[in-house]
Structure 1
């Protein structure tokens, strides 16, 4: 994709074409789409601003603004985590991947399934330690655990770097929907709806903090479930049932190609993508922020049990990628302009336009667009928490702890606004392929923090701060080098081991190397380890004893 194919060129999508040759013009059908879409979007924004009144407290404190006072029960936590992890880009990209490559695209369902047992095992313990010591971020926990500010800085900066393109991709997903709805223009006006919506996002994030994200997540969840449940019934019915859908898919796209003795092919690609993505999922700052806002470690355990309900939606969204193939939207002249500009990312939107009335298209598009507000808000808040506690508070602020606490929330709000602004610049100034490349690197980078954040909760003698820092550096360099060697176009690298070619997700391969280096270096660094561990055995045992 070159710069001419950037997602910012939206003019071709107005009016929206239907497969029967009609259009949703601004004077006709799209008026209904735009009205429904706009109404629901405005409701979401209003909810964001009103959320500050929930259990009123002092939002000038970082714990209240950035973690909602750690008071979210199972219902709010479930909606927040679902809205946080299942993003607008997910709802567009997952069916697009299946539409484009077939069975390999289902790795998203597999990795989400693997991730929730990890959530149950690991993160209630992190919550307990963070609650006892007042930690707001994972990197703050790492500094307390190892007494190593440089390792903590590495973990924090990695999270921010991984999050920036992630926010940008939420904007990309929203921009695709805005274009499909009919909010178009030329020149800088192309970006006006996007800029307005995310200025408002920055506003309610600064005013209400994490409370806004949680309450908008409820609206998002209701809309997404309603949309997908209706689509599960209508779309297969229009295509003759699920059997008829799969019958129209080329056989080589339905199943992974069988591995050979010389090349494990898509089997190792699928497995490593699922494992690596699962290990990385809850390390992103927005995921950690959502988890630490829970009222207890028990809430996180309960959430890990019921959260996979969202994964059922992801499964059907993946099948919709096949449904788009069966419906022939990719070769339908009515949708040619949309696919020319967006490629496979247009598949799901075209499917809804083809089979649903205008008012329901408005609901579906609003669900996807609102789906960007929740994660983008939490991403900005989570990154701002890191900058405030682990960079500004640790390396810049020189006053007392009391003085720092009084300024933290104000500093965090400023940085949250800057994160949203930077993401907008990403979308406006950088071609889409580069944003996607940065996101590809984000998953590879953030998994390098797994030993320091997750494994350190269970092992106390196998790892040292300096060993983890060197391992992190090796993982970052090796992962980035592998992506660069592929021209930043793929995330699966062909490893050649004992004459066997093993295609492997770069994040997983570099993580294994990172961990091996950290473990090997631990005995060498153990004697000179000077950092003091603020945490104690009782901190970890308390959660296990619940």
Structure 2
């Protein structure tokens, strides 16, 4: 363990911990006893706060480790993360202000609330809620994986055979995260996001300037990477031809490969703001214009992500050692350990770990909101008061974090990564009910439910049946489109099936005059803004407790 690096890391971590607990009184109303307050931060965040919160929500610690690790391992396809985080923002600009409006007019806290109100179907709302919870769980787990990788590189993992002592630092971080999320709700990650994003920007900008300079410049780095990948491909030509190994640094140069790359980018973009934690960040804002401004400003993170991805090639040129057997996830933390002065390595470690705390907190809150509103209240306690809802959500947020921690410690990291990819397949299947519902009531509720079910079964089965050179099942997120040799993201194929089933069955149900649910919304709800009837204003200094 490097004492200086650990000292800097611990100092910054303690600052964040204090901020997490102090957030309970930041912009606080007279009572935290409701999901509007605990789960959505009072629905009053402006452009500046929302930019940090939403950015910290969707650009996670695992992103900062996994994207460059993919390039380090030799797959240039990892760059798909950059275009998809650009493509998404025009979509956000178009449909999320409508979701904000109808949610504020009716007091919806989750996307499943909206679906239930729009289609008059608790069953369809339950399907959306369960999908959101199941897809979010491995996402939370991967934040803990990201933390674990940094703690390992920093030397904080014990060599003890005792399972508890071996991962004691991760347990400590988990307990602190759970405690301040329980007490402060969404305000905690919103406040911490200021520190997280500032540190991340500083570390990455320094890294892409300082480390390449130490290694001889970007030209030298690209030459080393190209030579090394070409040598690997030549030496392993037979294994690559038999598909026993994957070639390195292959970029999709043909139409077949480009479909895989493009569908990954488009499908991931469509799925990103279907995740409940993304919707939670959006619904916490004070008016529609905050969402539009953030849709215009958040691409700054995509620029950051592009720089970050290149650090994977920097790690190759620096000949970073990632253990035996190799673990590419160690590449970026180890690069920082090798190349930065000790004190700045500590800053980098803190940036990544804090970058895990923010999204993990928001994800657990979002999952708790879904369970409380769309399972507990919808089916068990319809008369639950706001204070009871908040109490249940707090407890569920702890259960979700415990589940994620057990998942990380009990299962292999490879399985966790692949299950997160499956989460993208699942969550995209909520797109027709949510996004189409914001513009039209044409779809029949049972047709949407049938389309969702068909796509979930199909997508899960295809993902299970997709091998890789190292495993027989859940080996990747791309498969050959049925009847062709064209690779395509599994989530997109399942989505096409989803829409086809929903359209066909809607026509059938309408022809048979099958009763549809009661729509609780009206046209004006989708353009309502702050100051309109039943759209509450944000907390003001006169009504807040400081």
Q: TM-score if structure 1 supplies the norm length? A: 0.89
Give yes or no for the alignment of 1:132 onto 2:105: yes
Change in CA separation of 1:296 and 1:342 when aligned onto 2, cut-off 3 Å: farther
Post-superposition Cα deviations, 1:85-109, rounded to whole Å, max 9, x if no partner, equal: 1111100000001111332110000
Within-5 A mapping of 1:384-399: 384-399=368-383
Change in CA separation of 1:257 and 1:144 when aligned onto 2, cut-off 3 Å: closer
Question: Residue 537 of structure 1 corresponds to which residue in structure 2?
Answer: 523
Aligned residues of 1:83 and 1:374 also touching (Cα < 8 A): yes
Change in CA separation of 1:342 and 1:141 when aligned onto 2, cut-off 3 Å: farther
How far apart are the structure 2 equivalents of 1:94 and 1:210?
A: 27
Question: Residue 499 of structure 2 corresponds to which residue in structure 1?
Answer: 515
Question: Residue 514 of structure 2 corresponds to which residue in structure 1?
Answer: 528
Give yes or no for the alignment of 1:41 onto 2:13: yes
Within-5 A mapping of 1:128-207: 128-185=101-158, 186=160, 187=162, 188-207=164-183
1:73 to 12, 29, 46: 46
Deviation (angstroms), 1:390: 0.4
Secondary structure at the aligned position of 1:33 is classed as: helix
Deviation (angstroms), 1:163: 0.5
Give yes or no for the alignment of 1:248 onto 2:224: yes
How far apart are the structure 1 equivalents of 2:174 and 2:221?
A: 38
Change in CA separation of 1:452 and 1:257 when aligned onto 2, cut-off 3 Å: closer
Give ranges in structure 1 of 5+ residues lacking alignment: 1-25, 330-334
How far apart are the structure 1 equivalents of 2:26 and 2:437?
A: 35
How far apart are the structure 2 equivalents of 1:132 and 1:209?
A: 22
Post-superposition Cα deviations, 1:270-292, rounded to whole Å, max 9, x if no partner, equal: 10100110000011111111110
Post-superposition Cα deviations, 1:319-359, rounded to whole Å, max 9, x if no partner, equal: 11111112222xxxxx3xx4326611111112212211000
How far apart are the structure 2 equivalents of 1:232 and 1:189?
A: 36
Aligned residues of 2:422 and 2:460 also touching (Cα < 8 A): yes
Secondary structure at the aligned position of 2:441 is classed as: coil
Post-superposition Cα deviations, 1:361-420, rounded to whole Å, max 9, x if no partner, equal: 000011000000000000000000001100000001043xxx422311001000001101
1:476 to 445, 456, 480: 456
Question: Residue 215 of structure 1 corresponds to which residue in structure 2?
Answer: 191
How far apart are the structure 1 equivalents of 2:425 and 2:36?
A: 29
Over the residues paired in the alignment, what is the CA RMSD in angstroms?
1.7
Question: Residue 280 of structure 1 corresponds to which residue in structure 2?
Answer: 271
Give yes or no for the alignment of 1:491 onto 2:482: no
Question: Residue 367 of structure 1 corresponds to which residue in structure 2?
Answer: 351
Task: Indicate the larger mover: 308-317 or 231-240.
Answer: 231-240
2:437 to 442, 451, 456: 456
Post-superposition Cα deviations, 1:420-473, rounded to whole Å, max 9, x if no partner, equal: 111111112222222223212111000000001112111222x12111100000
2:26 to 54, 65, 74: 54
Give yes or no for the alignment of 1:347 onto 2:331: yes
Task: Indicate the larger mover: 121-130 or 246-255.
Answer: 246-255
Question: Residue 227 of structure 1 corresponds to which residue in structure 2?
Answer: 203
Aligned residues of 2:257 and 2:486 also touching (Cα < 8 A): no
Aligned residues of 2:287 and 2:529 also touching (Cα < 8 A): no
Question: Residue 116 of structure 1 corresponds to which residue in structure 2?
Answer: 89
Aligned residues of 1:166 and 1:439 also touching (Cα < 8 A): yes
How far apart are the structure 2 equivalents of 1:521 and 1:287?
A: 30
How far apart are the structure 2 equivalents of 1:175 and 1:257?
A: 33
Aligned residues of 1:102 and 1:322 also touching (Cα < 8 A): no
Give ranges in structure 2 of 5+ residues lacking alignment: 231-247, 467-472, 533-546
How far apart are the structure 2 equivalents of 1:194 and 1:531?
A: 47
Question: Residue 239 of structure 2 corresponds to which residue in structure 1?
Answer: none
Deviation (angstroms), 1:211: 0.2
Secondary structure at the aligned position of 1:528 is classed as: coil
Question: Residue 31 of structure 1 corresponds to which residue in structure 2?
Answer: 3
Post-superposition Cα deviations, 1:477-528, rounded to whole Å, max 9, x if no partner, equal: 110110111111111011244xx41101101111111011111111122321
Change in CA separation of 1:78 and 1:342 when aligned onto 2, cut-off 3 Å: farther
Q: TM-score if structure 2 supplies the norm length? A: 0.89
How far apart are the structure 2 equivalents of 1:437 and 1:539?
A: 39
Give yes or no for the alignment of 1:258 onto 2:253: yes
Give yes or no for the alignment of 1:311 onto 2:302: yes
Aligned residues of 1:104 and 1:266 also touching (Cα < 8 A): no
Aligned residues of 1:137 and 1:386 also touching (Cα < 8 A): yes
Change in CA separation of 1:38 and 1:315 when aligned onto 2, cut-off 3 Å: same
Aligned residues of 1:393 and 1:404 also touching (Cα < 8 A): no
Task: Point out 4+ residue stretches in structure 1 off by more than 3 angstroms.
Answer: 251-255, 541-544
